[in-house]
């Protein structure tokens, strides 16, 4: 379910559909109820499997128990082959290289399967142990970590953030002094959606350096009232964890959550992927096909979205959530009270006219602490999506049904939401919607709009114009008070733009019209493509700065306002 503004849609790939993995045919005879009796996630830990290594037997046990404890409420039955067939069809329709899906019900993994390939053009299959970025699904881990520290008395939900991070400041002194720990986890800081993400994305800034610059971001909504999804506040929450625990965020998550849950393949940094096997490759979804991308490091924003996991491991996390903080062994990572605190509405989200029409059974939408929530067909749904460079994911919980769903993909499409909605309809009953058809139409429209914006951004508006100055007169250092320095130099009779904070942001400039130049990045980025740069000149025709127009839905280049840094002539030249 869309519990927050969706991470950007990057269009539909029409590449040839890769060979899909053929599932074990023995699974196809297993049948489970489709209404109010179906849930999501992964297999049981092997140490509890009396049938040894037989995964099919394991599924049989789980599904038989499900049938016995939760009889179908209608004549309609959803079989494993039905799920498998649906996933294959949607994978083909959406042209996604690979997908892994797991369903947990009544504390058992009743479905866990991978389809497709880890990288387009290869035959390496996706399975339940394939590693994907879960991106913003990491936020629930950060919220759980803070809950544990609250229970230990090391921090309080209503403590001021500046009590732990004295360098932290926002757009207004009152807000800076009044923002509390819980405010960091529920998107009500007053900052805009995704505002400031270019401070951390691919940059050399440390978390402290990033947060020290946040005060320059403009206010967008009312503090404490307006919902605007903002990653930087979760970065601040991660730094509070560091301050009060004495461990790095990654160390805390590893020792206090991943290790107790035996999430042995899960990692918190791309740096650990070199030694790992069975790793999915990210793909940018373009109109012309899927483009494989290298993994992009998010270490300086790990608390925002740094976890990389598999459906096999994520089922253990989902089971912990559905048990309200209790592990399979009976140990508690956090209390039921903390679970309820994370799951209760903290910030209301306005239901748009489109969503009101599309989801007539939904009466509220809100964000808790690391979780989005809404009601759907009479049940409370907890959900979160994750968007990483070339990978989208979604996790859904239905506590009243003891149900959890995990969907991981190696492309940038709405397919994870499509699968989750389809499975929820099968479980909860009532009117069914062809979510794949409906959302694929939306996706194509979004793709077409984006392609149009991209084309317009690099198309000259005036013909037969020239730059106001020689190229050498644009050369220099340009500074933004928040983002730092950029440099412009002439290389092979062309201007080249380079960012000091992100060594990957290097672009060749070509003249469009007057003092506007088209940007062509030297590497492929998942979230954005090319755009343009507009120089500002004063009344003496001196260059004073420039603005950037790079169309996308996540990284706001328009927040940058670069001013030219006056050059200092060497002393020897001053004497001439």
Place of tokens 């509070």: 240
| Cα–Cα distance for residue pair 247/314, rounded to 1 Å | 23
| Cα–Cα distance for residue pair 204/500, rounded to 1 Å | 9
In tens, the pLDDT along 452-480 reads 999 999 999 899 999 999 999 999 999 99
CA dihedral 37, 39, 44, 49 (to 10 degrees): 20
Q: Which pLDDT band, with edges at 50, 70 and 90, does 567 fall under?
A: confident
In tens, the pLDDT along 473-522 reads 999 999 999 999 999 999 999 999 999 999 999 999 999 999 999 999 99
pLDDT at site 203: 97
Mean of the pLDDT values across residues 428-437? Answer: 95
pLDDT at site 166: 98
Task: Give the lowest-confidence range in 50-54, 84-88, 391-395, 555-559.
Answer: 50-54
Q: Which pLDDT band, with edges at 50, 70 and 90, does 347 fall under?
A: very high
Q: Which pLDDT band, with edges at 50, 70 and 90, does 13 fall under?
A: very low
Letter string b/e over residues 241-252, b meaning 16 or more CB atoms within 10 A of that residue's CB: bbebbeebbbeb
In tens, the pLDDT along 232-265 reads 999 999 999 999 999 999 999 999 999 999 999 9
Mean of the pLDDT values across residues 371-388? Answer: 98
User: Three-class SS of residue 368?
Assistant: coil
User: Cβ-count burial of 391 within 10 angstroms (0-12 exposed, 13-18 middle, 19+ buried)?
Assistant: buried
Strand 372-376 with 365-367, pairing? antiparallel
| Cα–Cα distance for residue pair 424/284, rounded to 1 Å | 28
In tens, the pLDDT along 150-207 reads 999 999 999 999 999 999 999 999 999 999 999 999 999 999 999 999 999 999 999 9
Q: Where are the beta strands (DSSP E) in 355-483?
A: 365-367, 372-376, 379-388, 391-398, 403-409, 476-480
Task: Give the lowest-confidence range in 30-44, 283-297, 373-387.
Answer: 30-44
521 strand-pairing partners = 507
Mark out the alpha helices in 132-216 (DSSP H runs): 139-151, 173-178, 207-211
Q: What is the mean pLDDT of the chain?
A: 87
Q: pTM for the complete prediction? A: 0.87
Task: Give the lowest-confidence range in 3-17, 222-236, 386-400, 488-502.
Answer: 3-17
Residue 547, pLDDT above cutoff 60: yes
Q: Which pLDDT band, with edges at 50, 70 and 90, does 288 fall under?
A: confident
Residue 397, pLDDT above cutoff 50: yes
Q: How many residues does the chain have?
A: 576
Q: Which pLDDT band, with edges at 50, 70 and 90, does 53 fall under?
A: very low
In tens, the pLDDT along 411-422 reads 999 999 999 999
pLDDT at site 78: 57
CB 399 within 8 A of CB 380: yes
Q: Where are the beta strands (DSSP E) in 97-252?
A: 98-105, 108-116, 132-133
65 or 176, greater pLDDT: 176
Place of tokens 């060594």: 503
Place of tokens 């979804």: 285
Half-sphere exposure of 519 (CA within 13 A, CB side): 26
pLDDT at site 40: 32
pLDDT at site 568: 55
Residue 532, pLDDT above cutoff 80: yes
CB-based contacts of 570: which residues, under 8 Å, 6+ apart?
none
Counting runs of H as helices and runs of E as strands, what totals does the chain give?
Answer: 14, 23
pLDDT at site 287: 84
Residue 574, pLDDT above cutoff 60: no
Residue 137, pLDDT above cutoff 80: yes
User: Three-class SS of residue 21?
Assistant: coil
User: Three-class SS of residue 286?
Assistant: strand
| Cα–Cα distance for residue pair 358/368, rounded to 1 Å | 23
Among residues of the chain, what percentage have pLDDT more than 70? 85
CB 218 within 8 A of CB 193: no
Mean of the pLDDT values across residues 403-412? Answer: 98
Query: What domains does the chain contain, in order, with CATH numbers?
Result: 25-147+239-450 (3.40.710.10), 471-574 (2.40.128.50)
Task: Give the lowest-confidence range in 34-38, 218-222, 292-296, 432-436.
Answer: 34-38
From 136, 333, 331, select the one nearest 237 (Cα to Cα): 136
């Amino acid at each position: 379910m869309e519990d927050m503004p969706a991470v950007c849609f990057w269009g539909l790939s029409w590449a040839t559909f890769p060979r899909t993995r053929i599932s074990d045919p023995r699974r196809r005879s297993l049948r489970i109820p489709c209404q109010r009796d179906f849930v999501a996630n992964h297999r049981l830990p092997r140490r509890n499997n009396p049938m040894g290594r037989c995964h099919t037997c394991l599924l049989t046990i789980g599904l038989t128990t499900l049938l016995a404890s939760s009889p179908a409420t209608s004549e309609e039955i959803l079989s494993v082959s039905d799920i498998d067939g649906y996933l294959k069809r949607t994978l083909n329709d959406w042209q996604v290289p690979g997908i892994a899906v797991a369903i947990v019900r009544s504390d058992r993994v009743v479905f866990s399967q991978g389809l497709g390939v880890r990288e387009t053009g290869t035959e390496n299959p996706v399975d339940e142990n394939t590693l994907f970025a879960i991106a913003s699904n990491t936020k629930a881990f950060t919220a759980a970590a803070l809950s544990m520290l609250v229970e230990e008395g090391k921090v309080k939900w209503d403590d001021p953030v500046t009590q732990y991070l004295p360098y932290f400041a926002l757009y207004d002194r009152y807000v800076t002094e009044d923002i509390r720990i819980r405010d960091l986890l529920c998107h009500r800081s007053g900052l805009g959606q995704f505002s400031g993400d270019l401070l951390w994305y691919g940059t050399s800034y440390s978390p402290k350096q990033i947060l020290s610059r946040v005060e320059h971001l403009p206010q967008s909504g009312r503090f404490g009232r307006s919902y605007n999804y903002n990653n930087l506040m979760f970065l601040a929450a991660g730094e509070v964890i560091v301050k009060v625990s004495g461990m790095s965020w990654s160390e805390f998550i590893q020792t206090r959550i991943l290790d107790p849950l035996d999430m042995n393949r899960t990692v918190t940094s791309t740096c650990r992927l070199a030694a790992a096997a069975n790793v999915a490759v990210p793909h940018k979804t373009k109109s012309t096909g899927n483009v494989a991308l290298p993994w992009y490091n998010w270490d300086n924003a790990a608390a925002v979205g740094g976890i990389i996991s598999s459906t096999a491991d994520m089922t253990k996390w989902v089971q912990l959530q559905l048990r309200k903080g209790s592990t399979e062994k009976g140990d508690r990572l956090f209390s039921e009270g903390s679970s309820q605190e994370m799951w209760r509405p903290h910030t209301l989200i306005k239901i748009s006219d489109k969503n009101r029409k599309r989801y007539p059974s939904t009466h509220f939408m809100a964000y808790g602490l690391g979780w989005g929530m809404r009601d759907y067909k009479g049940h409370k749904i907890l959900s979160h999506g994750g968007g990483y460079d070339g990978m989208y994911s979604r996790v859904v919980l239905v506590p009243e049904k003891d149900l959890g769903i995990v969907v991981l993909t190696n492309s940038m499409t709405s397919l994870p939401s499509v699968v989750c909605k389809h499975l929820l309809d099968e479980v909860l009953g009532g009117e069914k919607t062809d979510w794949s058809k409906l959302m694929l139409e939306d996706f194509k429209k979004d793709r077409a709009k984006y392609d149009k914006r991209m084309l317009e951004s690099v198309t000259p508006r005036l013909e037969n114009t020239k730059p106001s100055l020689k190229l050498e007169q644009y050369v220099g250092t340009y500074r933004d008070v928040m983002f730092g320095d950029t440099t412009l130099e002439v290389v092979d009779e062309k201007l080249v733009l380079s960012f000091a904070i992100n060594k990957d942001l290097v672009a060749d400039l070509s003249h469009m019209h007057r003092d506007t130049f088209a940007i062509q990045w030297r590497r492929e980025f998942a979230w954005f493509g090319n755009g343009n740069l507009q120089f500002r000149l004063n009344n003496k025709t001196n260059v004073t700065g420039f603005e950037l127009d790079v169309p996308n839905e996540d990284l706001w280049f328009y927040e940058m306002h670069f001013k030219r840094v006056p050059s200092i002539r060497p002393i020897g030249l001053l004497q001439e």
